[in-house]
Every structure is written in structure tokens, then in C-alpha cells.
Structure 1
Amino acid sequence: MTNATVEGFTITGGSARNGGGVLMSDGLLLGCHVVSNTASLKGGGIHCLYRGRVENCRISGNCLIGNDGGGGVCCEYGGEIVRCTITFNKASQRGGGVYCDRGQPSVRNCVITDNTARYGGGIMFFTTAGAQYQAGYAESCLIARNTAEMRGGGGYGNLAGDFYNCTIVDNTASNAGGGVFFMADAWSFGLCANSIIYDNNAPSGMNHYNAGAYFFSCCTVPSASATCLSDAPEFLDRLQGDYRLSSHSPCINAGDAAWADLAGLDLDGRARLSDEGLEIGAYEYAVSQPEEIDSDSDGDGMSDEDELRAGTNPAQADSVFIIQSVETLSAGGMQTASTEEDQKAMVVRWASAEGRLYTVWRSTHLLEGFVAIQSRIAATPPENVYLDRLDDRSASFYRITVE
């Protein structure tokens, strides 16, 4: 695709030399699921060139079998990846989740987890000595539980690559740089600023293997510079995958504004800078005082903290997170229910907010509770639509939660 917009599709089962699911030059890929595609050279799921933008997409289970890069996405000569979930992708060599090559691609407000590659399990930035183009940066991203068979479990910077306000945790490398691995020379280098690089694992450089990169106001062990913290970041619930900051985290108000996009948002969609300062890591602290968590400013029965997470306004009682409708497929206006399977299908609609991920739950008997039937659903504002194909016509009840 060139200078086109593709929105709301599931793209699966593709195979190509470049971009197993999508090959795009400029243009916009919005709110799509790119799942289980394969490429032999670049971009198992997506190969994004020049001014292309991939936004609010789920990129999962794709594979690159060649010697170049990008199990999930390859960005080359520019490009943007924004508010995407990139998970369970694999590259035989470089960048299991994301591979950025020249032109300063940007990866912002993304969740990059459970990807695998030989180098750069989560993300790899690559350029060559004396190259004309920079290799790009990641900002306000969660990079967790990725694996490198050699170096750079979370991230790998080859002569370039910057990480700003990222949380890089629980990654593994078999050789060096469990969190991040950097190679640099006298003219080309990477940096980490306002980032948490903690609880990673590797035989050499458990959290960071630093061959010439710069670290500013990070939380990591061992401390990488005089401006870094070495105390544990104190997540809300690391074992359950919640890497937001607890109320006693040393990362609160410890970031350096000189290295932050002050107009940007954190991974939950909150303003990055407050009156008190800004945090280290992908998430700003949710409330200024722990006792404020249960406050309900507009009296609508939903706490201010929950409203911020859902993307509703805690000061307006009519701004609520609810299911808007549950209808049969034909009544929902999506298509004619021509088959017996279609006649059983239900359409669930809810108002959605930018940058959120949702889980759909179903119950056929309220006393038996709800079961999650689909998780990690990327927001497609202003509304998300989910099609549930039922096995029978039993009465069904639904709930939607924000992850």
C-alpha cells in the first residue's frame, strides 16, 4: 500500500519477501490485527517505509525467517509505530518485535512483550558506521519478557538507538545485555534516559551491556552514571505483569525534564509532566496520594483512578465507561445473518478511548461468573465493536474491562 489508509482489518496468513502481512510506503495502518504472517527478508508482520504510520494495531505471532530484521515490524528510512501491542513475534536474527533501520523511525507508547530473536529480542535499532541516517528511538514503551538468543533481550542498539521513558524489565539474553545491549563508536552511539532497566537476566550485563552508550536519570543496577538510581523501582505487581509504579517507588518525580517530551503522554495516556515533576519509566504515577485512589469526584460510582484508566472524565458524571449495545449480528447492522452460525453471533459495542487495551468477558450463567473470551483488544476510538460467534443460543451476559 502507498499513501493509503487501511483501518479495522484482520490481516493473517500472508507470506512475502518483505512485509508478510503488510508492505507499506507512507500511508496509515489503523486499528488492525496483523497476526500469523511470515516474511523471508524484512518484516514478518509489517514492513513500513518512509512516512508510514502504524497506529493502535495488534501485531502478534508473526515470523521472519531471513537474515534481516523485524519479526513483528520493520521500520526503514523513517516511519512511526504508535500505541501498538507487539507480542509473540519471532525473527531468526534481528529484532523479534521491532527492527528500526535508518531514517529515525519512532516507536511510541507501545507494549512490546514476549518476542524472540537472536539479537534484540524486543526491539533492535541498526545503522552502520558513517551512515547518513540515525536509527530511531523508543519512547514511553513497555518492553518486557522478551528473549535474545545472543544479545539484547529487551533492546539492542547497533551504533544508535535511544530509549526515553521506557520500562525495560524481565527480559533475557543468553550471552549479554539482558535489558539492553549497546555497540558504539566515536561518532555513533545510543542513550537511555528516564528509563527503568531492571530485573533482567544475562550472564554478562544483567540489565545493560554498555559499549559507549550514555545513561541519564535511569533506574538500573549497576548504576550506569551519577544521575541514575539503583534502588528497586517498586512496581505495583510485577509478578502479575503490572509495571505501573507503587506509591513508594523511588522513580516518582525522579525524571529529568530535559530528556522528556513534555507534550507527550505516558503509556496509560496521562500527561507526562505534572506540577510535582515527572517519573522514570513508561508510566506516570496515577495519583499524588495513595488515599486518593478511591475518590469519586463526580459521584458516578466509578473512582477517579478507574476513570483515568478507562479514558473517561472523572469530573463529569455523564462521562462513563459502559457497554453501549449487545445485538444479534443482523440487528447490529454489520451484515445479513445468512447462516446458522451467523444467527447465533452477537455484536458487542462500547465507547473506547485512545491508547487503551480491552478484554471482553462472557457469562452464560451469572452465578458461575465470567470468562475472558478475548484480551489485548486495541482501542479504535470512538467505538469498539466485537463479534462473538456463539456455539449455541444460550442467554449471554457481557462485561468489558480495561487492561
Structure 2
Amino acid sequence: IGKALSVAGDYDLVLVADATYNETNLDFGGKKIYLKGVGHNTSGARPVMDCQQAGRAFYFASGETKDSVVDSFTIKNGSAGYGGAIWCENSSSPTLTNCTFSGNSADFAAGAIWCSQSSPSIINCTFSGNEAAGQEGGAIYCYNSSSPKIANCVFSGNSTAWYGGAIYCDSSAPTIINCTFSDNSAPTFNGGAIFCRNSSSPTITKCVFNNNSANWYGGATHCISGSKPTISDCTFSGNNASWGAAIFCEGSDLTLTNCTFSGNSADDGGAIYCKSSGGTITNCTFTSNTAKYDSGAIHCLDGSSPSIINCTFSDNSGENGGAIRCISSNPSIINCAFSGNNANGYGGAVDCDSSSPTVVNSTFSNNGADYGGAIDCYNSSSATISNSILWGNSAGSGGDEIFIADPGSSCTLNYSCADDTGYGGQTGNITENNCIHQDPQFVDAAGGDYHLKYTSPCIDAGDNTLVPSGVATDLDGNQRIVDGNNDGTSTVDIGAYEYQP
């Protein structure tokens, strides 16, 4: 193969027959060569580059472009200090397509592919059993303003000694589309599948994260140091870590849209853990996530103030905060529905500790805890709840709907529907403004349908001025403010769902 590359010129096609090759450090020398494996001896087979732990397979350092292509190879048993299978630097951005990377390793970082100031296109590839034995990036390491495109790839069983079982990003912006991450791990530290730091801004779209794990933070994804991940249309299931089973963010702003979290588990933050972080979580579903201690779905700590919009939380559980726990944090919760969440201690849906969350147009029903079936406030917390329903929640010891644990905590309800017989603790610190205390008349609460019947007292009973600017739809995506009672005036309903006449 090396001899063929040395004599080929730009835009030459080099065909490599299916066989096993033991060459290492193959260099395109900056040329635009299409290197393609073919099943010459056996139909459907591909050539295997078995590096036999003697080096890496390819070395790109001469500014190669997308027209330098490696297509349909299996690359295995590569070994190097950095980049066990492929090295890319000096703005080298080759195309790697239809390849399998297995059993490659790095003494330090990038078990399979190293990228420094490089942006390769990695398409339709499989990464399995690669390892960064000493540091980061079990499969791919992105560094120094690298922006690789990674599409339609499978990452399975890759591991790292430190961070990023599959992919590690440092000051980089990879685009990751239609990929599957399963059983990748960071058994010592963080980021079972993906780790981002130093203002990295990955875009992750239509990916599946399943059964990835980290010892500490971020079973699937861990972002720190000013990183700004954008994650959309992804599924997270069965991931686990001590903190943040699916996602852990510290000092980072997360943009999360149209994602599903189910069956993830952690000590704290059964799905997401936010520490000193902001961002938005929109149109997401959290189901059956668990925390051994706090926050079955989302944990907010140390000044975290994410906006949680149009999300559904069901059947999540934790010791405190069956769905969400806030510690010294002020999240905004808008157009959300909470049902079937449970806490053994405080806050079946939301638990507030030294926090001041804002809740607007949300519905809480059938959640349970020992104290505060829906919401618990303590340690000088102050929750503000507007245009929302709290009905049919339960608590074993006090406050079926709301529990105020100490004299320094309070809760203000504006234009809300709540069962005031379910207030517990320091009930004098619960303030109501224009609230109603009637059955909201859900369509089928027992069946989990919390839309409003046409006879509901919550229709057109809210306050339009309390709806945050930019919120035009309800949890279903229907128009948020309509004239539901046909009195000629469009007034927002109470709850997550707007009645559509």
C-alpha cells in the first residue's frame, strides 16, 4: 500500500484487495488520493490493516483535504503514544468512510484517531474496543480548534483511563450526527461516551446513548470549562455515573432539545446534573430515571439556572427531589408536566434548598413524597408558582401539595389551581394571589391524561402577563393563549395544556 501511495498522484484511485496488511504510518503526503478497499478475493470482504501493536496505520500531517480518502478498511491493533490508528494534524482533514476501528490503543490519548487543528470527515465507521490507556479519548481525541464531522458511526465498548470513553474534545467543535454510543466507559473518571472542556462546542444530533458509564461525572456526556454543547433529537437510556447519569455540566451552558431520557441512574442527578451552569432544556421527556440520593431527573447546584421548557417528567425517583432538586439555584420551569415522580424524603416532583425556582404554566399530579408531594421548600427557599396546577399529589407525613419546612422559606402562588388542604409545614409562608381550589377536571388523571375537560375551572383562569415572553405554545405545541371559554377574550389557561375549543 505504501508503494502505491508514493507513486499515485492527485485524484488517482488506488484499489486494495481484501487481505491482511501489516504496514504502519502510511502517508498520503498531502495528495488527493482515493484509497479504497475492495472484496477482490471474497465478495463483500475488505482489507484488514493489522498494525500488530507496532505503530499506527495512517499519518496525515501535510494538509490533506476531504479528497484524501480512506474507504472500506478494517484497522486493528494499532498502537502509539497518541492516535493508535490514525494521526491528523496541521489542518489535515481527510475523509475516513466505511471503516472499522477495533482494538487500537494509545499509551496516552486517542485510542483510534488523533485530531489537532484538523477536521476529518468520519462517515459510516465503527469503533469498538479501542482504548486510551493513559489519558483521554478512547476512540477519538479532538484538540486545538479541531472540527471533525462524525456521522452515521457506531461507538461500542471503547474506554479511557481518564476522560471521554469514546470522544474527547478540548477547544474543539465536532459535529456528531446519527451516531450510536453503547457500553463506552470512563471507569476511573468522567464522560463515559463524550467529554468536552475549554470552550468546546460540540453539536450532537440524532444520536443514541445507551449503557455508557463513568465512575464520577457524566455517564454519557461531561462538559466543563465554558463548553457549550448543543444536543438535539437524541435518546439517552441505561447510562450511569455517580453524578449525572446521562449528562453532567459544570461551568457550561447546555442547549438540549427534543431529547428522551429513560432508565438512567446515578447517585445524584438520575439524568442531568448542572453545576454552576445555565442553558435551556426544551421539549424533552424524562421517564423512569433514578437517583440513589437526590434528583431523579435533574440536579441543579451552585447557581445553576437552566430554563426547563415544555418537558415531561414521569415516574422518576430519588431520595429528595423525585424529578428535580435545586440547591442554591434558580431554574425556570415552564409548560412542564410532572406525574408519578416519587421521593422517599422531600419533594416528590421538585425539592428546593436555598433556591428560588420560578414555575409557570405547569401541572403537578400524582407525585409523592414523605414531605411535599409536589414541591418542598426549605433552608430559606422561595418558590414562585404561576398559572400552574397542583392537584392529586400525596405526602406520607405532611404537605400533599406543598411543604414549607422552615420559617425562612416561602412559596407564592399566582393564578394557580391548588388543593389548599394539601399545604403543610409553615403554611403561613404560603401566599396566594387569585388562586382557585377546585378540582381542575383532568380528562383522565388515572390514565395519565392531564389535559383539561371543557368544564374545567382552569380554562381562561390564568394571567397573560405571567407567561414569559417568547412562549407561544403549550406542552403539546398548540397555541398557548386562546379563548377557551368563548367569552371573546383570549386568556391563558392554568396548567401545562391549553384547552383547544
* Superposition TM-score tier, normalisation by shorter sequence: 0.5 to 0.7
Q: 2:464 aligns with which of 233, 242, 257?
A: 257
Say if 2:284 and 2:311, in contact at 8 Å, map to a contact too.
yes
For 1:121 and 1:280, locate their aligned partners in 2 and report how far apart those are by CA, in whole Å. 23
Amino acid at match of 2:263: G
- TM-score normalised by the chain length of structure 2: 0.53
Matched residue, 2:358:
162
Matched residue, 1:284:
498
Amino acid at match of 2:387: N
Q: 1:83 aligns with which of 269, 283, 288?
A: 283
Q: Where in structure 2 are the equivalents of 1:177-188 lying within 5 Å?
A: 177-185=372-380
Per-residue Cα deviation, 1:69-113 (whole angstroms, up to 9, x for no partner): 311112232122110011100111211011122231111100111
For 1:238 and 1:89, locate their aligned partners in 2 and report how far apart those are by CA, in whole Å. 22
Say if 2:203 and 2:229, in contact at 8 Å, map to a contact too.
yes
- TM-score normalised by the chain length of structure 1: 0.65
Q: 1:234 aligns with which of 413, 419, 441?
A: 441
Matched residue, 2:253:
51
Say if 2:373 and 2:399, in contact at 8 Å, map to a contact too.
yes
Matched residue, 1:70:
269
Say if 1:48 and 1:79, in contact at 8 Å, map to a contact too.
no
Matched residue, 2:410:
212
Please tell me whether residue 35 in structure 1 is matched to residue 237 in structure 2.
Answer: yes
Q: Where in structure 2 are the equivalents of 1:3-402 lying within 5 Å?
A: 3-16=201-214, 17-24=216-223, 25-40=227-242, 42-49=243-250, 50-65=252-267, 69-76=268-275, 77-101=277-301, 102-127=303-328, 134-159=329-354, 160-173=356-369, 175-185=370-380, 189-202=382-395, 203-210=397-404, 211-222=409-420, 225-264=432-471, 265-274=473-482, 275-287=489-501
Matched residue, 1:393:
none
For 2:379 and 2:495, locate their aligned partners in 1 and report how far apart those are by CA, in whole Å. 24
User: Highest Rg: 1 or 2?
Assistant: 2
Give percent identity, aligned residues only: 31
* Relative contact order, higher structure (CA 8 A, sep 6+): 1
Query: Post-superposition, which runs of at least 4 consecutive aligned residues in structure 1 deviate over 6 A?
Result: none
- Shifted more, 228-237 versus 266-275: the winner is 266-275
Deviation at 1:262, TM superposition (A): 4.7
Q: Secondary structure at the match of 2:446?
A: helix
Per-residue Cα deviation, 1:354-398 (whole angstroms, up to 9, x for no partner): xxxxxxxxxxxxxxxxxxxxxxxxxxxxxxxxxxxxxxxxxxxxx
Amino acid at match of 2:399: G
Deviation at 1:214, TM superposition (A): 1.3
Amino acid at match of 1:276: S
Say if 1:262 and 1:272, in contact at 8 Å, map to a contact too.
no
Could you say if the C-alpha distance between residues 85 and 198 of structure 1 is closer, same or farther in structure 2, counting changes exceeding 3 Å?
A: same
Say if 1:184 and 1:212, in contact at 8 Å, map to a contact too.
no
**Structure 2: where are the runs of 5+ without partners?**
1-195, 422-429, 483-488
For 1:78 and 1:3, locate their aligned partners in 2 and report how far apart those are by CA, in whole Å. 14
Q: Secondary structure at the match of 1:190?
A: strand
For 1:271 and 1:75, locate their aligned partners in 2 and report how far apart those are by CA, in whole Å. 31
Deviation at 1:126, TM superposition (A): 1.6
Amino acid at match of 1:198: W
Could you say if the C-alpha distance between residues 166 and 110 of structure 1 is closer, same or farther in structure 2, counting changes exceeding 3 Å?
A: same
Amino acid at match of 1:253: D
For 2:379 and 2:461, locate their aligned partners in 1 and report how far apart those are by CA, in whole Å. 27
Say if 2:377 and 2:383, in contact at 8 Å, map to a contact too.
yes
Amino acid at match of 1:193: S
Q: Which has the higher strand share?
A: 2
- Shifted more, 105-114 versus 203-212: the winner is 203-212
Say if 2:413 and 2:433, in contact at 8 Å, map to a contact too.
no
Say if 2:323 and 2:348, in contact at 8 Å, map to a contact too.
yes
For 2:218 and 2:285, locate their aligned partners in 1 and report how far apart those are by CA, in whole Å. 17
For 1:286 and 1:262, locate their aligned partners in 2 and report how far apart those are by CA, in whole Å. 21
For 1:183 and 1:242, locate their aligned partners in 2 and report how far apart those are by CA, in whole Å. 31
Deviation at 1:60, TM superposition (A): 0.7
Could you say if the C-alpha distance between residues 207 and 260 of structure 1 is closer, same or farther in structure 2, counting changes exceeding 3 Å?
A: same
Amino acid at match of 2:304: G
For 1:276 and 1:226, locate their aligned partners in 2 and report how far apart those are by CA, in whole Å. 20
Per-residue Cα deviation, 1:195-228 (whole angstroms, up to 9, x for no partner): 1011000030011113412111111111752421
Say if 1:62 and 1:89, in contact at 8 Å, map to a contact too.
yes
